[in-house]
């Protein structure tokens, strides 16, 4: 390649991302400045939280500015370097953005982690990257799930949810997923070993939770918010914990949707609902990656990845997260 294609945020989405939200531009392949390295990007990570980054409002990261490269996790290989920490040939991952070549280190403002030789980049971006690490700290630190407890995971067939539930099984929890469609539910139970999975598209999530968790929910790992959070609140055990990881059901609403009617259950059931952002756990990423790696090597965790081909597919592929078309972690292969 002789040029660096980059996808910019051109317009803020009102509801779902549309074609006009993005613009593809070509730039020269960058040269590394002092202390910098240039990474050829090979995979983009697509994550629900990216919809929030496109909003013009303060959040845990500043909004992506119009005209800037779309922010996103990615992994690739160093092709030029003025930084001994990023040797040519090394694989790295970080918030490299939607571009074919990214500058890291030095004054670039972009940090990337070097990956072990021979690691699968897709595994790195999913299981050992923010997806797996989110599941890890969500279940263990925020949810404090323990052996014998009932863990319910929404978005169970998604990247984070599918790993969160498997971690629950490793801990000795009874794990009940909530996912959209029979096929996803079957995968979650038959392949990942969840004890049960509720198809929310059949309706009646409350009754299904009552049946699947007759003694109530100890830990609810919430990726979706909305009506499913509402149903979970009604079925929590006293002193249960709600891991507020994401609320994807509301991400594409032009206006903030109403909150759960059962929120008063937080008082009467003495619940703890706690939000977290995986970035806060940065100093502990190695701990999580190591443990997840060992579990994967022992065959205790499966990592399913939905790969979409071609850099230019990213703008449409990201909506698959919101329509539920992906199963497992969604990535784009450049």
- Name the site residues for its own copies (rule: CB under 8 A): 52, 59-60, 225, 230, 238, 244-247, 250, 255-277, 280
What's the Cα-to-Cα distance from 76 to each of 8, 104, 117, rounded to whole Å?
19, 11, 12
CB 279 to its own copies: min, Å? 10
The DSSP 8-state label assigned to residue 304 in this structure reads: -
Nearest to 247 by CA among 52, 62, 55: 52
Question: How is 265-303 classified by DSSP, letter by letter?
Answer: HHHHTT-EEEE--GGGGGGGHHHHHHHHHHHHHTT----
Q: How far apart are CA 11 and CA 124, in angstroms?
A: 31
Residue 128 per-residue DSSP state: S
User: Is the Cβ of residue 12 or residue 272 nearer to its own copies in the bound state?
Assistant: 272
Min dist. Cβ of residue 317 to its own copies (A): 23
Of 24 and 266, CB closest to its own copies = 266
**What are the phi and psi torsion angles at 288 (to 5°)?**
-65, -45
Q: DSSP code of 139?
A: I
Q: Write down the least CB distance from residue 52 to its own copies, Å.
A: 7
- Pick between residue 167 and residue 245 the one whose CB is nearest to its own copies: 245
Shortest Å, Cβ 156 to its own copies: 18
Task: Name the nearest CA neighbour of 208 among 225, 230, 231.
Answer: 231
Q: Shortest Cβ distance from residue 135 to its own copies (Å)? A: 15
Decide whether 184 or 235 has the Cβ nearer to its own copies: 235
Closest distance to its own copies from the beta carbon of 206 (Å): 13
Three-state DSSP state, 242: strand
Q: Closer to its own copies at the Cβ: 6 or 237? A: 237
Closer CB to its own copies, 38 or 133, in the complex: 133
């Amino acid at each position: 390649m002789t040029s660096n294609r980059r996808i910019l945020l051109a317009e803020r989405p009102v509801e779902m991302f549309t074609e006009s939200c993005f613009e593809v531009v070509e730039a020269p392949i960058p040269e590394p400045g002092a202390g910098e390295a240039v990474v050829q990007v090979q995979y983009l990570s697509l994550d629900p939280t990216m919809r929030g980054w496109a909003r013009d409002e303060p959040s845990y990261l500043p909004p992506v500015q119009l005209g800037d490269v779309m922010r996103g996790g990615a992994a690739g290989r160093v092709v030029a370097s003025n930084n001994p920490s990023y040797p040519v040939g090394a694989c790295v991952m970080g918030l490299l953005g939607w571009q074919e070549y990214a500058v890291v280190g030095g004054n670039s403002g972009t940090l990337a982690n070097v990956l072990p030789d021979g690691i699968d980049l897709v595994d790195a971006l999913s299981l050992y990257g923010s997806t797996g690490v989110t599941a890890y700290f969500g279940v263990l630190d925020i949810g404090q799930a323990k052996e014998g407890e009932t863990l319910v995971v929404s978005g169970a067939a998604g990247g984070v949810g599918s790993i969160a539930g498997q971690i629950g099984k490793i801990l000795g929890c009874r794990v009940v997923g909530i996912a959209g469609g029979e096929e996803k539910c079957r995968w979650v139970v038959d392949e990942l070993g969840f004890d049960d999975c509720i198809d929310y598209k059949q309706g009646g999530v409350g009754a299904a939770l009552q049946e699947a968790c007759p003694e109530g929910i100890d830990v609810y790992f919430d990726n979706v918010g909305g009506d499913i959070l509402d149903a979970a609140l009604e079925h929590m055990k006293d002193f249960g914990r709600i891991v507020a990881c994401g609320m994807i059901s509301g991400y594409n609403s032009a206006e903030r949707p109403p909150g759960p009617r059962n929120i008063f259950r937080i008082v009467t059931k003495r619940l703890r609902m706690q939000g977290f952002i995986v970035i806060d756990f940065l100093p502990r990423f190695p701990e999580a990656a190591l443990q997840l790696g060992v579990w994967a090597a022992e065959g205790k965790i499966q990592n399913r990845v939905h790969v979409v081909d071609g850099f230019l597919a990213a703008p449409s592929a990201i909506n698959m997260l919101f329509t539920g078309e992906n199963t497992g972690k969604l990535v784009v292969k450049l």
